[in-house]
Structure 1
């Protein structure tokens, strides 16, 4: 929201007051409050009829500093608030004639007294950002009868801002106006399903604005050297989050707001759905499932979209008996084929549903101020909205889902949750404006808890569209309604990368697009991208997405890349475990893995899949692609060719290939089973060692899907000698990529192959002399 007219003037109708003259500093426990007048105070009379602003500094955990700006503290405290996970920290405070400062870990905020009120944030010796004189401000909008608080933080030369949720606009947010307000807007507009008031800078810090309601960001758009954020009301609270690297910043942010759960291994396989508005019954489902099997297309999850329930009755959690007369038998027959089952749900209860009267009579549905049930006819006639602030309503809703889990359902696609009304009253008195974004957190939390309670914590997984801060704890999320063209494929990638640097580790998208039906070339290129994503789902709107309906080559492409992903699961599941532990994305923008390389800063048409594999999807029918390789040696995973990094490449690929490169110094674990994603990763694994330079080391860990599956391997090179150590696993092989022979090998039998020198260790240690 813009308050100024150019650089110097304030817009008509607004009165702006900024902290100018420090009048007092009060230390209370581990917090420090600075009282500032909004004008210079020369004499006692200057304190009359004047505003006093407060800035309170504290730390909820090491390397995070909370800043709370406030004018009047007597307002009614409104809920909800984001759930934060604070921890002990050693706070050091300084207050002398020259400076006011607070330090937490390596992060420090300071205010120099002789310059008026201006804050600076440092991590160690590195300046991160600051708020210059008269940048923070309390604003009165007289015509609106409202007040606002804003902050403006410095944006340095060459500094890029990322994140703010799953945004499909340009990946670098500089120059954009971003309103944190969940909306169902597809992937082709500035609206977003997952709005997160957190941004990450390429300079190595993050900013989290702690407000569930609408937060308005002006990212170098009102003042070109500042990031401005503002909220309505008398208080603005934000956190500066530090770290040695951008990954460390995400780690700290998700320590504060919640770590992602690790999805079960089966979720990383291929998902196939019935699609949205298509007609289907058990025969149709079996045709798809059996057709995939007959064509040797590994399938892990089958998803039933909306019309598993009878029309006009969403959501009643009852199978349409006209189409599925034996749902329990249907699910058993599908599960006997090795499939997991997902079903579509949403938080609405249509009036024709058998649950509507029950919900209305028991106070389980959100009400209007006059006490009537809030309803609308969008999606299904007369829909009411479940009130997740009512514990009884939560138990009621969870009970219906538990019955489906008992029936054989393994996970839920939690659709919608964005179009939440603000002219309503909640059971617990929550502010409906704050609840607009926050509703999705309560919705997805309730569903995730059902799965944890019924299946166990290691088996819970959703397929969610909407999210707010903390929603990363309930994976997986997908990118919503995209169109079936290359432009929307690129939009989806930008959205996923933006969400990833907003604290979300696991993300998917509708392969080949949701709206309409893609031509065969788009389908095949999107299949490549989709199977090299965290999670992979074939889904659409008005048509089925099985490959043989596009062309026969599409079958071959889907087979190749599904099996490739399954074979990479020893590597991918370890990357997933690290992502969950640190709050970093599996699909990483290039700058996150290579923050020191300025070329990587704006890149959004390629990404790192974990820390070692680079992927550059192709966005045109011709197969042309231009991509960048950072410094070092890179080996094509699909063709074995080695390229020098630190430069751009322009090439052409057919539909069976695309740029997928492994970085030098990688010990890549490739599994023995390409038919499914969940298997014994440590049994029959092959460790591929790529271009290990003299004096360097490499390692690989296999985190199995149960505690019995563990493997640790390491390699170190000194001159012409490579020493390899392997602990755990069975039938392990090692391939030295790019090396066909050696002068001696101790501790392993060996043979030459097209890929390189293949070693079969006799024990746990191997020495190779080149």
Structure 2
């Protein structure tokens, strides 16, 4: 929120008070508390009739320093609060040298000189990362009597800001005003489904504002050299998270707020849905599935969107008997074809449903202050909202879902969760304003934990639209309602890369776009992009997304890239394991992988898929694509063509190729089985070696299909013009040096090492 009128003046009705100096301190070995008046105090009489800010500083984990500024400490602290599973206690150490106090945690230090004007200075490696100076700590009151706490942290020359959730506005957030407030706003506005009060910069640190309600950011858009964040509250808490690399920042942030669960490997395959408001029944479903099989396009998951239930009765968790008279039998028949089943749900209950009467009678629905059930007619007539702060309501809701699991459903698309009112009373007494963003977390958590309990560790999976900080623990998330054109395809990617820099490891989107119907060209290009994402789902609103509706070439493209993704499954599963253990996303903004390359800082139309694959989707009808290639010789996995960077490249691609480049000195493992996402990946695996320089070494891990483990490991090194390979794999394996047309070198089972000439 903007409080100032230019640099010198305040907006009408706004009065600001900023920490000016340190009047007193309290410190022990691990924490320090600073007492800061809002004006210079030179004599005792000036301590009267003026605010005093309490600023507490501590470290909840190595490399993380927390700052909590409080004006009036007597305000009632109503929930909810973000859970911080990685906050392990006092990780910092306080040191005092005369007037200077330092709180250090890892390489990160907070420095305060108590004899100088107010300055909180965060340093690492001998340099200042950021600081809260003259206007950096304080509060503002406005003409309506509202009270806001604010923080301002300095931006250096050339410093760029990323993150703040899945945002479809420009990828670099400098110059933007951002409100952390859940909204169902599509992908073409400043609103967002996934709002996360965490940002990182290209200067070695990130900042997490620990407030689940509305947080207003001015990212160099009020004071152009500052990131300002404010909340309507009496207290503001934030954590500075040191890297120094972007990957290390995400590792520390996700250790603090929760790491992503590891989705089941079967979810890597292609998902097909009925689409949203289309007409369908079991015959339609069967026609879609049979049509994919007849055309040689393997399916992994079939998803039933909202009209599996009766109109006007969502969500009552009951199959429409006229459309699906034998749901259990239908699901059994689908599962006999090797498919997993996904079903659409949301947290709303329509009045026409018998479930509404049950929920109202038992007190499971959110109520207004007068005791009546909160309702409106948006989305569903007489729609009410399940109160997940009530443990009995949560058990009641998940009990309905368990019935579906017993019928054969494997996972749920947890849609909506953004339209949460603030004029209500929650069962546990939570603050309605703070619950608005947090509600989706409770919704996704309840469903995910049910799946984990019923299906087992490693089998739980959502397809979730909304989230906030900590929501990365319950993957997968998809990008919401986009249009069906190239601009929407690009804005979707922009949102996904922003979400990845906000701690979320897995992300998907509606292949072909949601609203409207894509042209054949858009559909084919979106298929390429979608099947080179962490998870891949064909989905639309009023039109189907079966590929034959978009021409025979669309069928061929869908088949080719589905088979390619199956072959890439061991590589993708290894990237998924990394997301699970480190918080580094599968789909990575270029700045995450190349933080020292200035050209990578603003790239938002390409990304790294795992460690070693660069993907540049095509966003044009004629196949023209411009992309940036970092240093070294990169090899197109589809064509074998090589390009040497650093430089920009302009190419034109038909619908069967795109820039899919393997990194220099990389080795990509390809599964022998291209028909299934899950197979015996180590058995017959092809190791494709790309532009291996003299002296290069690389270790390839073939992951387990059912957890974070591994089934085989290969170590490759080039010395004296030869490639030497050692492995612990008992299975046969193959080696290919170069592109797809290079010679294959097979090695039988039991071959533990090989030595080959490396072609010039």
Which TM bucket (shorter chain)? over 0.9
SS in 2 for 1:625: strand
CA positional deviation for 1:735: 1.6
CA positional deviation for 1:89: 5.2
Most deviating of 119-128 and 363-372: 119-128
Unaligned regions of 5+ residues in structure 2, if any?
none
Name the CA shift for 1:729/1:386 in 2 (closer, same or farther; >3 Å).
farther
Task: Answer whether contact 1:737 1:757 (CA < 8 A) is retained.
Answer: no
CA positional deviation for 1:718: 2.5
Matched, 1:98 2:86: no
Task: Answer whether contact 1:22 1:36 (CA < 8 A) is retained.
Answer: yes
Any residues of structure 2 matched to 1:198-347 within 5 Å, and which? 198-347=198-347
Deviations 1:420-478 (A, max 9, x none): 00000000100000000000000000000111111001100000000011110000000
Deviations 1:148-201 (A, max 9, x none): 111111111111111100000010011100000000000000000000000011
Task: Answer whether contact 2:730 2:751 (CA < 8 A) is retained.
Answer: no
Task: Answer whether contact 2:60 2:91 (CA < 8 A) is retained.
Answer: no
Most deviating of 246-255 and 128-137: 128-137
- For residues 305 and 700 of structure 1, the distance between their equivalents in structure 2, rounded to whole angstroms, comes to 39
Task: Answer whether contact 2:184 2:419 (CA < 8 A) is retained.
Answer: yes
State the match for 1:183 in structure 2.
183
State the match for 1:483 in structure 2.
483
- For residues 730 and 314 of structure 2, the distance between their equivalents in structure 1, rounded to whole angstroms, comes to 48
Name the CA shift for 1:665/1:729 in 2 (closer, same or farther; >3 Å).
farther
Any residues of structure 2 matched to 1:669-748 within 5 Å, and which? 669-706=669-706, 710-737=711-738
State the match for 2:545 in structure 1.
545
Task: Answer whether contact 2:472 2:504 (CA < 8 A) is retained.
Answer: yes
- For residues 437 and 580 of structure 1, the distance between their equivalents in structure 2, rounded to whole angstroms, comes to 24
Task: Answer whether contact 1:365 1:387 (CA < 8 A) is retained.
Answer: yes
Task: Answer whether contact 1:270 1:299 (CA < 8 A) is retained.
Answer: yes
Task: Answer whether contact 1:263 1:476 (CA < 8 A) is retained.
Answer: yes
Matched, 1:426 2:422: no
State the match for 2:753 in structure 1.
765
Any residues of structure 2 matched to 1:217-616 within 5 Å, and which? 217-616=217-616
State the match for 1:136 in structure 2.
137
- For residues 754 and 588 of structure 1, the distance between their equivalents in structure 2, rounded to whole angstroms, comes to 28
CA positional deviation for 1:277: 0.6
Task: Give the structure-1-normalised TM-score.
Answer: 0.97
CA positional deviation for 1:88: 4.8
- For residues 243 and 21 of structure 2, the distance between their equivalents in structure 1, rounded to whole angstroms, comes to 32
- For residues 45 and 112 of structure 1, the distance between their equivalents in structure 2, rounded to whole angstroms, comes to 24
Runs of 4+ in 1 over 6 A off after TM superposition: none
- For residues 197 and 29 of structure 1, the distance between their equivalents in structure 2, rounded to whole angstroms, comes to 30
SS in 1 for 2:631: coil
Most deviating of 685-694 and 564-573: 685-694
Task: Answer whether contact 1:682 1:709 (CA < 8 A) is retained.
Answer: no
- For residues 337 and 126 of structure 1, the distance between their equivalents in structure 2, rounded to whole angstroms, comes to 60
State the match for 1:14 in structure 2.
14
SS in 2 for 1:525: helix
CA positional deviation for 1:729: 4.7
CA positional deviation for 1:757: 5.4
- For residues 706 and 430 of structure 2, the distance between their equivalents in structure 1, rounded to whole angstroms, comes to 42
- For residues 757 and 356 of structure 1, the distance between their equivalents in structure 2, rounded to whole angstroms, comes to 63
State the match for 1:744 in structure 2.
none
State the match for 1:745 in structure 2.
none
CA positional deviation for 1:583: 0.8
CA positional deviation for 1:516: 0.9
SS in 2 for 1:728: coil
SS in 2 for 1:177: strand
Task: Answer whether contact 1:512 1:526 (CA < 8 A) is retained.
Answer: yes
Most deviating of 697-706 and 164-173: 697-706
Most deviating of 27-36 and 531-540: 27-36
CA positional deviation for 1:724: 1.2
- For residues 181 and 665 of structure 1, the distance between their equivalents in structure 2, rounded to whole angstroms, comes to 44
- For residues 697 and 507 of structure 2, the distance between their equivalents in structure 1, rounded to whole angstroms, comes to 31
- For residues 160 and 21 of structure 2, the distance between their equivalents in structure 1, rounded to whole angstroms, comes to 32
State the superposition RMSD in angstroms.
1.3
Deviations 1:246-297 (A, max 9, x none): 1010000000000000100111110000001111110000000000000000
State the match for 2:742 in structure 1.
755
State the match for 2:68 in structure 1.
68
Task: Give the structure-2-normalised TM-score.
Answer: 0.98
Matched, 1:640 2:627: no
Task: Answer whether contact 1:89 1:104 (CA < 8 A) is retained.
Answer: no
Unaligned regions of 5+ residues in structure 1, if any?
739-752
State the match for 1:747 in structure 2.
none
Task: Answer whether contact 2:265 2:706 (CA < 8 A) is retained.
Answer: no
State the match for 2:654 in structure 1.
654
- For residues 106 and 584 of structure 1, the distance between their equivalents in structure 2, rounded to whole angstroms, comes to 21
- For residues 94 and 579 of structure 1, the distance between their equivalents in structure 2, rounded to whole angstroms, comes to 36
SS in 1 for 2:243: coil
CA positional deviation for 1:342: 0.3
CA positional deviation for 1:388: 0.2
Task: Answer whether contact 1:97 1:113 (CA < 8 A) is retained.
Answer: no
- For residues 640 and 52 of structure 2, the distance between their equivalents in structure 1, rounded to whole angstroms, comes to 67
